[in-house]
A and B are shown apart, each in its own frame.
Chain A
Amino acid sequence: MNTPLNTPRDASVDVPDGAAVAEISNLRVEIDGRPLVDGVDLRLLPGRVTALVGASGSGKTTTGLALLGEHPPGARVSGEVRVPGGGPVGYVPQHPAAVLNPARRVGALLYDIARERVRDLPRAARRTEARARVLCALADAQLPQGQALLRRYPHQLSGGQQQRVVLAQALLLGARVVVADEPTTGQDALTKSRIVEELTAVAAQGIAVLLLSHDLDVVRALADEVLVMKEGRVVESGPTERVWLTPRHEWTRELLSRQPQFSGGEEPGGAPTGAPVLHLQDLTARHHRTQVLHIRQLALHAGECLAVVGRSGSGKTTLARCLAGLHRNHDGRVTLDGSSALPRSLRDRDRGQLAAVQYVFQDARAAFDEYRPVVEQVARTAVRLRGAEAPAATAEALAVLAELGLTEEQAHRLPGRLSGGELQRAALARALLARPRVLICDEITSGLDTVTRRALLDVLAGLRRERGELAVVLITHDLDTASLADRIAVLDAGEMVEQGTAARVLSAPSHPFTRRLLAATTR
């Protein structure tokens, strides 16, 4: 909010570096009487990173947007948001692509912002000065080759570049406060550590950063101060190290507690025996004519969980899509149960083959039809792939959904009325109704907060105990998630650089890339 300076608040005792550049006191935002945020107090100091942590829906984004003077439609707001000095507040949203105009080059908005800032210069000098400022802001946002980027469209940039361009907009604006909403969600370990460096550099310029995140590793690496939110209230706040070492609130302890172990149970770490349920030989996958993935051999045994790990763009998802018959442009042999070669395309697979390999997508919301109740869509798999009668299929769907922790009432809702974690369980149930031999889980936990993610991984572990024959392929960029598998395969730039038991890969990685990935995670 661009509130002009009313009464400059004098520096209080507990503030060493001068007055706050932004301050929220006793903020309450409610919609239809239901509070989204209640009684939040927040002070942002120049050069300091303050983190708001909490599960999704705990009010982090509502608080962050309040700082920008923006509230959800129909909200009743009380309390005070003050930005002394009246400077603008920068905003880096969770999906930076959404705030970049798809029809304009990246430079368009940057130049417009710069032009507004050089109004007072003589007309002749404006253009060169605007240009210099744009390039300077890009350089400050860790984009040294900004010149070339300006002429590109947003879709021609990588996700990381898009984020830095959005950050550059805020720097160009001269913002003294930047709100970064989940900047590391869905990013691999190396990208995450780069984002941490970026935001550290921003704070080093004397800008106050408000970090909204459920990524606790990043919060710990970055934040000076942490506020833990639950259901719209701040339950605990304090310096990061203090909160980490001696959490006072029960919820904080739950948030910080380690993830549980997750394994097949019977033969932990034991070498898989017998014929593989899925075997892959000499796979070369291409996008158009570019080769994106090459794998000599990969086997998956019944009851085994294989994690496929790598950065974004390393070919993990392409591998999964080849197995599931979603990516046709490959030559290579994928055999099921050692006998029949699976046809390359989904269209050529028969019902049995389709049922045998099931896929759970990253974005559960996009994987459901928003106009039909969840249970109908889950039951449909049994009807389509196993020829079950509709009533029997519905009964089975409800049973599996209940097993995964969704009540009958929730099952009859439309997808829009379920949370991300609940929908992902429904997506798992939908795949299970095919009674698959192989379940492919493509980044199913990325984008979920720690608590929800842990619950989902528990569900997956439970599934594997109940269904001893089920083989799971876990596509993930998150080494913590991967550590719960029996075996890990590491992909880099379309090549499988390493594979072995999870314990061996994580404790004694043989390939330099794996070592770098591990180092980036544990820093």
Chain B
Amino acid sequence: MSGPLSFVARRLLLGGAQTVAVVLLVFALTEALPGDAAVALAGDQPDPARIAAIREAMHLDRPAYERLLDWAAGLAHGDFGTSLTSGRPVSTYIEDGFGPTLLLAMITVTLLVPLGVGLGVLAARHEGRPVDRIVSSVTLGVYAVPEFALGVLLVTVFALRLGWLPPTAVGYGTDLLGHPAALVLPVLVLLSRPVCSLARLVRAGMVDALDSPYVAQARRYGIPGARVRYAHALPNAVAPAAQQLARTVDWLLCGVIVVEALFVIPGLGTVLLNAVAERDVPVVQGLAVVFGVLTVLLNLGADLVAHRFAPRAGVAA
């Protein structure tokens, strides 16, 4: 095994290669779609002459590799192209949608980590006893409920029946922070399943760690219980949990379409949904690249964390 620095360097290089692959793949997939932007723009009465004219105007008649080079060069400067339907730059779509999505993701993760880890540690401490049984069965049960079902249930109970919270974020635009009540239900729905999976993973890792000879040694030598749990046992449960957390953050940032649609939150998921409905290929492409790069970055981060806490495992790069 080579040293930690070279691991980081290798992992960064691989991340770069993955990003390039994402860009190529997104382009190839849009090329492979039947029809093109010109067909979509021509509307309900496709007139071949009109389609050809649009193609020429949009330079769609040029060879694929030239268009790829143009698009990729633009991406390198942060230029995602322009929307077909509105003519606005794609980047403005992304900026507008990113705010609400990022806000939801941040609130969710802030609550998710202490809740998930805390529940996991709590269950592991009482392994096999009633507290563990309750935590384990409740997390399994909640995990089995899909977001849309839980969302509908919560809206029905807390918004429609009890009237405590607004059912959707309609009318608040992107200024969600000014209306925290509108965020409660979406965050609850977003939290529900990740908390369960994280808690179960942390519990499994902690059960192993608490049972290990090195924890026995720390206890034997009089290290206080909380310190043994959090400083000596927990780091061994962190590596798998970090990978799971990266997947969750990825899912939160890359458009939680169901939740955004349910609560009418104008985030990236909504932008993507609209773009697909309108066949706005540049916007879809731009979002695909952003999502792809986010996924690469988050997994990169998770691998570095896992490498730190499980230096032996030699995380498959």
Contacts and interface: CB of A to CB of B under 8 A. Distances in A.
A101 B235 contact: yes
B311 A155 contact: yes
Interface string B207-220: 00000111111101
Contacts of B51: none
Given A101-B214, A103-B238, A108-B232, A113 B310 contact: no
Contacts of A169: 217, 221
B309 interface: yes
B223 interface: yes
A376 B304 CA distance: 44
Nearest to B222: A116
* 3 A-B pairs with the lowest CB-CB distances in the bound complex, closest first: A99-B217, A103-B235, A98-B213
B222 A113 contact: yes
A88 B310 contact: no
Interface string A80-114: 00000000100101000011111110001100110
B136 to A, nearest CB: 22
Given A70-B216, A103-B239, A153-B311, 13 more contacts: A68-B220, A88-B220, A88-B222, A91-B217, A91-B220, A99-B214, A103-B238, A109-B218, A109-B221, A113-B223, A116-B222, A153-B312, A166-B217
Contacts of A101: 214-215, 218, 232, 235-236
A302 to B, nearest CB: 41
B10 interface: no
Interface residues of B, number: 23
Given A93-B213, A108-B231, A109-B217, A102 B223 contact: no
Interface in B210-251: 212-218, 220-224, 227, 231-232, 235-236, 238-239
A173 interface: yes
A99 B232 CA distance: 11
Interface string A162-181: 00001001000100000000
Interface of B: 212-218, 220-224, 227, 231-232, 235-236, 238-239, 309-312
7 contacts: A70-B220, A88-B221, A101-B215, A101-B235, A103-B311, A116-B223, A173-B222
B214 A100 contact: yes
Given A103-B310, A109-B223, A113-B222, A98 B214 contact: yes
A99 B216 contact: yes
Contacts of A88: 220-222
Contacts of A99: 213-214, 216-217
Nearest to B228: A112
A104 B227 contact: no
A379 B236 CA distance: 40
Contacts of B221: 88, 109, 113, 169, 173
Contacts of A113: 221-223
With most chain B CB atoms within 10 A of its CB, the pick from A93, A100, A109, A153 is A109
Contacts of B232: 101, 104, 108-109, 112
Interface of A: 68, 70, 88, 91, 93, 98-104, 108-109, 112-113, 116, 153, 155, 166, 169, 173
Contacts of A109: 214, 217-218, 221, 223, 232
Contacts, number: 66
A111 to B, nearest CB: 10
A169 B223 CA distance: 12
B317 to A, nearest CB: 16
Contacts of B311: 102-103, 153, 155
With most chain B CB atoms within 10 A of its CB, the pick from A88, A103, A112, A153 is A103
B281 to A, nearest CB: 47
A16 B50 CA distance: 111
A112 B238 contact: no
A84 B265 CA distance: 70
A440 to B, nearest CB: 27
B208 to A, nearest CB: 11
Contacts of A93: 213
B294 to A, nearest CB: 28
Nearest to B217: A99
Nearest to A112: B223
Nearest to A93: B213
Nearest to A153: B311
A101 B214 CA distance: 5
A304 to B, nearest CB: 38
A75 to B, nearest CB: 16
Contacts of B212: 98
Contacts of B236: 101-103
A102 B312 CA distance: 8
B251 to A, nearest CB: 26
A164 to B, nearest CB: 15
B222 to A, nearest CB: 6
A70 B213 CA distance: 12
Contacts of B224: 116
Contacts of A102: 214, 236, 310-312
Nearest to A90: B221
Contacts of A100: 214
A91 B214 CA distance: 12
B231 A112 contact: yes
A46 to B, nearest CB: 20
Nearest to A98: B213
A438 B50 CA distance: 81
A101 B228 CA distance: 11
A396 B232 CA distance: 51
Contacts of B239: 103
A153 B94 CA distance: 43
B207 to A, nearest CB: 15
A103 B232 CA distance: 8
A284 to B, nearest CB: 21
A156 to B, nearest CB: 8
A397 B215 CA distance: 43
Contacts of A68: 220
A155 B312 contact: yes
